[in-house]
Amino acid sequence: MIAGATGPGGGLGGGPLGRPFRSSRTIGFRLATWYSLALILTSVTLFGLTYLFMSSALQARDREDIRAELRELAALYEAGGLERVAELLTLQARTGTSEPFLIRLTGPGDAPPLLWKPDDWVDIDLRRIQAMARVPSGQWSDLRARDNEGRSFEVTALRLPDGSLLEVGGSTEGRDRVLGRFRQAAAWVLIPIAVLGFSGGVLLANRALQPIRRIVQTVRAIEGGSIDARVPTHRTGDELDELSTLFNSMLERISFLIRGMRSALDNVAHDLRTPIARIRGVAEIALRSDDSADDARQALAECVDESDQLLTMLNTLMDISEAESGALTLDVDAVNLAELVEGAADLYRHVAEEKGVALSTRAASELWVAADRTRLRQVLANLLDNAIKYTPAGGRIEVTAEQDRDRVVVRVADTGIGMTPDELPRIWERLYRGDQSRSQRGLGLGLSLVRAVVEAHRGRIEVSSVAGGGSVFTVVLPLPAATIA
């Protein structure tokens, strides 16, 4: 959980998660704006397409009506000439059954054209209609005659067999009204869509960015000194949740390293005090006494020994820190672990024999791993050294190395003093020494170094032990990918 979520920096302004955006520069605001813009654009496109479709469907219907009228009048003209047409139109006008069409018939001669219009088009400006350019036969006029009410017409024409031109026009008023209403409705619908789109965008962006805000809060909290602050995760499995989890594990790792460094520093300070005090004591006594030059040399030799031990301790501590932080440079090469095990055992066989401990090995002839030869030798030497140190005379030590699927397993088993369950987790700590081991030489750094080096090789080390019944240290190293069958 987040501890002290708002540090001295003051959080996100206006409460942790309460206020979605600080300003128009935030990603949240930009996301919301883009989201609503996209929604508005989609809606406008949809409305636009529907409008176009509607308008062309209505236009097609209107034009079909005009064409039908044109065909009917043309047939009438062919059957009975101008008289029949005039007769029908006059009859329609008289009986009030006029079709809502504008009709103009221009004869082949110079006679003025004949014009009919529905009665209810009282305000129509006849002069403008008269002067309207002739529509070429079979085509539609784009020139729209507007009457005083702003009514517009579209006109088509047909050249009759005797050379006359019959033009029929229909009002577009009906469809203009429908389309006008549609435009109005669209404008009214677009406003709530824009509002909804923006609020939806704000909501979505707010939700989506919450994990990021939590990370920011955590960073602020850490900045403010709460190094234990962590980002709450919700196991949703999405990318931001994964980021939070990774961020937390990174923080864990950093805290682990910081804790390790702190405790190492404490331990080092504590453990340096004794040898330094000893060096000082020896040097002081030598200075004060009037002893011979031999005694003084003896004191100096003691100081050199103590200083060497101090140097070893400091070097090992630095190696451990480097290995744990990943800064240790490994000189990786193809290493035959079986050969390395035999070599290490040969080196320690003499010491083991002197102590009365039997040391045996069992390993395949070839076990290739990609590793730093010198560092692995150090690992084996430390484990063997411990096994010999903590196994009384008459005991046995067995080192085995074998391949197990995609890894190589090395075991160092002894029949020594073993460890209690309480001790087991502590043996990996820097400078830790078991109670029973105080009588033995050592710094309490061997196993810390072993574990750090093994982990730097992407391996792991385990221990099982019974107090008084011996211990087994198991090192598992991955096989190089090319070697895996």
- Report which of 480, 83, 444, 63 is spatially closest to residue 264, judged by C-alpha positions: 444
Map the footprint of ligand ADP across residues 377-396, applying CB under 6 A: 386-387, 390
Nearer to ligand ADP, 52 or 466 (CB): 466
Shortest distance in whole angstroms from residue 434 CB to ligand ADP? 2
Nearer to ligand ADP, 403 or 437 (CB): 437
Shortest distance in whole angstroms from residue 338 CB to ligand ADP? 22
> Can you tell me the distance from the alpha carbon of 190 to that of 126, in angstroms, rounded to the nearest whole number?
41
Nearer to ligand ADP, 147 or 414 (CB): 414
Shortest distance in whole angstroms from residue 351 CB to ligand ADP? 14
What character string, x for contact with ligand ADP (CB under 6 A) and - otherwise, covers 22-61?
A: ----------------------------------------
Q: Is 427 in the site for ligand ADP (CB under 6 A)?
A: yes
Q: How many residues bind ligand ADP (CB under 6 A)?
A: 21
Nearer to ligand ADP, 218 or 448 (CB): 448
Nearer to ligand ADP, 98 or 391 (CB): 391
Question: What is the number of other CB atoms lying within 10 angstroms of the CB of residue 306?
Answer: 20
CB 217 within 8 A of CB 12: yes
Shortest distance in whole angstroms from residue 445 CB to ligand ADP? 6
User: Of 77, 418, 456, 479, which one interacts with ligand ADP (CB under 6 A)?
Assistant: 418
HEC states along the chain? CCCCCCCCCCCCCCCCCCCCCCCCCCHHHHHHHHHHHHHHHHHHHHHHHHHHHHHHHHHHHHHHHHHHHHHHHHHHHHHHHHHHHHHHHHHHHHHCCCCCEEEEEECCCCCCCEEECCCCCCCCCHHHHHHCCCCCCCCECCCCCECCCCCEEEEEEEECCCCCEEEEEEECHHHHHHHHHHHHHHHHHHHHHHHHHHHHHHHHHHHHHHHHHHHHHHHHHHHCCCCCCCCCCCCCCCHHHHHHHHHHHHHHHHHHHHHHHHHHHHHHHHHHHHHHHHHHHHHHHHHHCCCCHHHHHHHHHHHHHHHHHHHHHHHHHHHHHHHHHCCCCCCEEEEEHHHHHHHHHHHHHHHHHHHCCEEEEEECCCCEEEEEHHHHHHHHHHHHHHHHHCCCCCCEEEEEEEEECCEEEEEEEECCCCCCCCCHHHHHCCCCCCHHHCCCCCCCCHHHHHHHHHHHCCCEEEEEEECCCEEEEEEEEECCHHHCC
Q: Is 324 in the site for ligand ADP (CB under 6 A)?
A: no
Cβ-proximal residues to 49 (8 Å cutoff; 6+ apart), any chain = none
Q: Is 279 in the site for ligand ADP (CB under 6 A)?
A: no
Shortest distance in whole angstroms from residue 299 CB to ligand ADP? 26
Stretch that binds ligand ADP, among 10-18, 319-327, 330-338, 417-425 (CB under 6 A): 417-425
User: Of 32, 89, 166, 419, which one interacts with ligand ADP (CB under 6 A)?
Assistant: 419
Shortest distance in whole angstroms from residue 348 CB to ligand ADP? 13
User: Of 106, 217, 437, 456, which one interacts with ligand ADP (CB under 6 A)?
Assistant: 437
Q: Report the run of H or E that residue 334 belongs to, with start and end.
A: strand 332-336
- Please state the separation of Cα 308 from the chain's center in Å: 51
Nearer to ligand ADP, 99 or 385 (CB): 385
Shortest distance in whole angstroms from residue 303 CB to ligand ADP? 22
Stretch that binds ligand ADP, among 93-101, 126-134, 137-145, 433-441 (CB under 6 A): 433-441
What character string, x for contact with ligand ADP (CB under 6 A) and - otherwise, covers 443-482?
A: xxxxxx----------------------x-----------
Stretch that binds ligand ADP, among 15-23, 265-273, 290-298, 434-442 (CB under 6 A): 434-442
Shortest distance in whole angstroms from residue 215 CB to ligand ADP? 38
CA torsion sign for 119, 123, 129, 135 is: negative
Nearer to ligand ADP, 169 or 444 (CB): 444
Stretch that binds ligand ADP, among 149-157, 227-235, 252-260, 432-440 (CB under 6 A): 432-440
Shortest distance in whole angstroms from residue 260 CB to ligand ADP? 15
CA torsion sign for 451, 455, 457, 460 is: positive
User: Of 2, 324, 414, 456, which one interacts with ligand ADP (CB under 6 A)?
Assistant: 414
Nearer to ligand ADP, 165 or 417 (CB): 417
Q: Is 433 in the site for ligand ADP (CB under 6 A)?
A: yes
> Can you tell me the distance from the alpha carbon of 368 to that of 328, in angstroms, rounded to the nearest whole number?
22
Shortest distance in whole angstroms from residue 476 CB to ligand ADP? 18
Shortest distance in whole angstroms from residue 381 CB to ligand ADP? 11
> Can you tell me the distance from the alpha carbon of 10 to that of 217, in angstroms, rounded to the nearest whole number?
10
User: Of 106, 434, 459, 475, which one interacts with ligand ADP (CB under 6 A)?
Assistant: 434
Nearer to ligand ADP, 336 or 471 (CB): 471
Instruction: Give the interface with ligand ADP as residue ranges (CB under 6 A).
Output: 386-387, 390, 414, 416-419, 427, 432-434, 437, 442-448, 471
